[in-house]
A and B are shown apart, each in its own frame.
Chain A
Amino acid sequence: MATLDVRHLSVSYLTDEGVALNAAEDISFQVDQGKSLGIVGESGCGKTTVMLALLRLLPEAGRIMEGQVLLDGEDLLQCSEAEMRNLRWSKISIVFQGAMNALNPVRTIESQIVEVLRIHGVEGQSQRARVRAGELLELVGIPPERGRQYPHQYSGGMRQRAMIAMALACNPRVLIADEPTTALDVMIQAQILNLLRKLQKSLNLALIIVTHDLGVVAEICDDVLVMYSGTVVETGSSDAIFNHPRHPYTERLLQAFPDIESPNADLVSIPGNPPRLDELPPGCRFAPRCHIAEERCHIEVPKPIEIEHRHWCACHLYTGRRE
């Protein structure tokens, strides 16, 4: 059984006038223990929204319209708020984008880690908790003594690593890393990715990496989920997605990625912009920008079809093939 099984999750935001803007529609995916899933997509495509929904941390205006989030078989969306509070961080934790402000500036790093340890009962005694915090920092390559410093005294990369240490404090089943490398320079990016890969293997984590950077995904993810404008466009193993992508969007995405082997090739970009949430097209959301869109694409929403084993694609190119 997959550790995390998300089924048909849909999230909307309510505007001041009460209109529901559909930010994520019919999202389904699975992550197994010890495997990593990369969720890829342009900025604003709803990746972070989905992640927040998993932890039920949506802002006031956010609503989960339907779906199930099964963590080890238990539906998180059915839990009470109190139960959810217990599960957060202890079963599933998240490292936020650009840990700049994600850490409380007026508390020491150590105290923020100790806090989680005590809240979730991992280490009740403060002395032992501090020791454990030190161990966690060491795990991510930060000298334990630096735990008593404040976030502004850390570099960007260190803060990110500190956040990772904190996220692992309660030995969660699932770790989500939301844009772990954005806003870091390339050298640090590599460090962070290596760290994540190492930790994932050694701790047997179910890892989800949310990013717009295909390179990151290629580096460390076993599986890939491509999102566009709130919908799942294609999902499969890294191999499958990178070597034989099926969805027109995925293809263009890969093409847009500069290829080191042909440095002189023209940079291909996808003309146009993703649709605004209040102006969603009736059919496939990518249809307006798709170079092989047909009439059907503008009318009917394509459902995900399993093209090969564990390789799904939501495109009318393949719709006909289903039996």
Chain B
Amino acid sequence: MKEQLQEIWRTFRRKPMGMLGTFMLFSVVFIAIFAPWFAPYDPDAIIHVEPEDLLAPPDAEHLLGRDDAGKDVLSQLIYGARVSLTVGFVASFMAMFIGTTVGLVAGYYGGRIGNALMRLVDFLLVIPDLPLMLVFISIWGRGLWKIILVIGLLGWTTTARLVRSQVLSLKERQFVLRAKAIGASNFRTIMRHIFPQVLPIILAETVLSISGAIIAESSLSFLGLGDPMLVSWGMMLNFAFERAISRMAWWFLLPPGFAIVWVSVGLVLMGSTLEEIVNPRLKTHHLFDPGRMLELFKVASPGLKRPEVTE
């Protein structure tokens, strides 16, 4: 399995779009981790502000200006990365874990369990995401872990479907039948033989879903359901929209959103490239199939037949 991953990395390295995405993502991760070194100010520090400091436009000392409380926007943006990224990663790993388990069980055992699980997936898929999340949070209350849970608990369905269909096709393959013939337990068969084959696809899908999770968190926070103690990019947008929109303080309104876009686009590029490497014929995503989009950057696609004009 290690070699498989190495092989994937080697192929990935040669794809410019994938590498660009990786750079886009990791630059932000790096900045987030080393926030205290990058942020010019500490967003939690108490500061003394004059009235003209409130919603001050950008200047030399505050590259992105100041918010409605006089605090430096850039610093908040940098520290905000920590929250947004954390929620995104954790929620999506949770979804990956649940989805993989469900998919493995449903695919491997099949029968009534499998059907029941898939009905559950269908059910969850049909229910609109954001309203459901709104309802959950409004009843359970706000908080970091609640948001992570809510996003994670609703985001596993795609992975589950993916994993299940892979398992179904792998189940009948030789090496699985052989393993069972020599008496390997089901669990062992799954873990040692099936799971490694499915892992690359799960990885690709997870990368893509992280961007979905980040956007989901930002939407929830924007709508006022984020953790009030932690300032994520979504929360910044919530504050900005409520307090700065009338003054058109674009320096407060726009940067967090663009940060979200930057990270999402990076993740999508990475994820699509991975997906293409791991299984180019796969149709996975809710919204669209990013793998197909990468055809653009692929060589050798079937020629388009057009009315011929003789030269």
Contacts and interface: CB of A to CB of B under 8 A. Distances in A.
Interface of A: 16, 56-64, 77, 81, 84-85
Contacts, number: 29
B310 A60 contact: no
A64 B308 contact: yes
A56 B303 contact: no
Contact of B307 (A61, A63, A77, A81): A81
Given A16-B299, A16-B300, A77 B310 contact: yes
Contacts of A62: 308
The 7 lowest CB-CB distance pairs between A and B, nearest first, are A59-B303, A56-B308, A59-B305, A60-B303, A58-B308, A61-B303, A64-B310
Given A16-B299, A16-B300, A60 B305 contact: yes
A77 B311 CA distance: 10
Taking chain B's interface residues, is the majority helix, strand, or loop, or is none over half, making it mixed?
A: loop
Interface residues of B, number: 11
A64 B300 CA distance: 22
Interface in B260-311: 299-300, 303-311
Contacts of B305: 57, 59-60
Contacts of A63: 310-311
Nearest to A84: B307
Nearest to A56: B308
A48 to B, nearest CB: 13
B299 A57 contact: no
A51 to B, nearest CB: 13
A22 B303 CA distance: 17
Contacts of A16: 299-300
Contacts of A60: 303-306
Which one of B299, B300, B308 has the greatest number of beta carbons of chain A within 10 Å? B308
Contacts of B300: 16
Contacts of B308: 56-58, 62, 64
B111 to A, nearest CB: 31
Nearest to B305: A59
A63 B311 CA distance: 7
